[in-house]
Amino acid sequence: MANKITEKYFKHHNFAQHEKRVLDEITTRTNFRPEKEIFRGQIYDKDKVGSLIYKGVWRDKPTVLKIQGLQPDVDEIDLIGRFNDQNESAKIRLPELYDGSMWNEKDGYGYLLLEYIDAPQIFQPPFANQEQIKDLCALYQEYKINCLREPLIEREPNELSSLVFTAQRVSHWAKIAQTKGHLAGAEVRNMEKFLSLAGKHLPSIKMEFMHGHFTYDDIFKLSDKEYVLMSNLFWSYRPEFYDTTFHLWAGIKSLREQNVTVDQIIGYLQNWLEEYKKLPVVLQDADFERKFDMMMAERCIGALLVDIQNQYYESDRNNFIAHLTELFRDLFNHFTDKLEKTNLNKT
């Protein structure tokens, strides 16, 4: 059973209403001294806060406090322990867990006191340079071989089929978009096109266990020989090679320069594709490019249905939404056109 976050959009009550009381309780219990809030986990809306992260000091060392208000399906403390028990990578590790309490009904929250990682992310969005692309690809190979030796959780019935899993997610995103008044006619048509292609392509794409947020935000580089992986609530089952595309979607939707063209982005994505194809873990799958294209199409439809409308913009919100919508529609057409031309008899 993997953790579901966005799936709880219609059920979750705002944890922010209790944040001061909860922070006071935890600091009294642990003697953690908060310095500043560094992250606020929201399920699309400001009034749907699920988690809070603070930087501070605990026992005279820099420490991160994560408060988990949204009840997890699998506690992050458990996931960290299970990962550490099976991880054979000398290069990739998780932040050290100093102390914590699993989510429980009595408290109505859980918390983790974690090592503060004073290091840069593997690259800064929206785009990686060539050296950074090679760096992340090499790390991807290491992660696939030595960090994913066995799943940390059991599958649920809907995680047995890529088609069932993906169709359910798209339906949920559409429901959110409709509820918020953002479901444009163009996106309804794109969704129908995507689901038609999904019916043809996803039955031959397996579900695999992976880190569901394998992106620059969650990979910190201490040195060329040591990387720390964050957001460990998100170990989950996804369709094959979803984790090659998640960071690409994240980078594109972080764009705030409106002079970047879709052709430039397609060229950038093609560069990533060619670097991925050099990896042993990819070379063994002759069908990689089709699977990559399918996952990019999935990321595009997700962006168009929910992500673009519900992310933060410092200014010019309407202009950025219009620009990103046009970019993602063009990218969606690019990848779905490729998929429509793919001869499935050869895959």
Q: What is the CATH number of the domain that holds 195?
A: 3.90.1200
Q: Is-contact 179 213, C-beta < 8 A?
A: no
In a domain, 123, yes or no: no
Domain termination site, one of 115, 144, 168: 115
List beta partners, residue 219.
229
Is there a single domain that holds both residue 103 and residue 169? no
Is there a single domain that holds both residue 167 and residue 253? yes
In a domain, 121, yes or no: no
Q: Is-contact 110 26, C-beta < 8 A?
A: no
**How far from the centroid of its chain's Cα atoms is residue 159's Cα?**
17
**Residue stretches of the chain with pLDDT short of 50:** none
Write the CATH number for 61. 3.30.200.20
Is there a single domain that holds both residue 87 and residue 153? no
Is there a single domain that holds both residue 110 and residue 142? no
Is there a single domain that holds both residue 194 and residue 309? yes
Is there a single domain that holds both residue 189 and residue 45? no
pLDDT for 81: 98
> Which helix (H) or strand (E) covers residue 100, if one does?
strand 97-104
Residue 264: count other Cβ atoms within 10 Å of its Cβ.
Answer: 12
In a domain, 124, yes or no: no
Q: Is-contact 279 137, C-beta < 8 A?
A: yes
Is there a single domain that holds both residue 94 and residue 174? no
pLDDT for 12: 58
Cβ within 8 Å of residue 139, ≥6 positions away: 91, 92, 122, 219, 227
Is there a single domain that holds both residue 305 and residue 195? yes
Is there a single domain that holds both residue 325 and residue 191? yes
Cβ-based burial of 137 (10 A; exposed 0-12, middle 13-18, buried ≥19): buried
> Which helix (H) or strand (E) covers residue 291, if one does?
helix 288-302
Domain count, the chain: 2
Q: Indicate the pTM of the whole model.
A: 0.94
Strand 97-104 with 226-229, pairing: unpaired
Domain termination site, one of 58, 84, 115: 115
Is there a single domain that holds both residue 278 and residue 177? yes
Domain termination site, one of 56, 87, 115: 115
What is the four-CA torsion angle of 163, 230, 1, 136, rounded to 10 degrees?
30
In a domain, 125, yes or no: no
pLDDT for 47: 80
Half-sphere exposure of residue 272: CA atoms within 13 angstroms, side-chain side: 24
In a domain, 22, yes or no: yes
11-30 burial code (b ≥16 CB/10 A, e <16): ebebbbebbeebbeebbeeb
Q: Is-contact 118 168, C-beta < 8 A?
A: no
pLDDT for 44: 79
In a domain, 15, yes or no: yes
CA dist., res. 20 & res. 31, Å (int)? 15
Is there a single domain that holds both residue 169 and residue 52? no
pLDDT for 45: 80
- In terms of Cα–Cα distance, which of 254, 207, 214 is closest to 234? 214
pLDDT for 6: 77
- In terms of Cα–Cα distance, which of 212, 314, 207, 179 is closest to 256? 314
In a domain, 19, yes or no: yes
Range of the domain at 274: 130-346
Is there a single domain that holds both residue 102 and residue 154? no
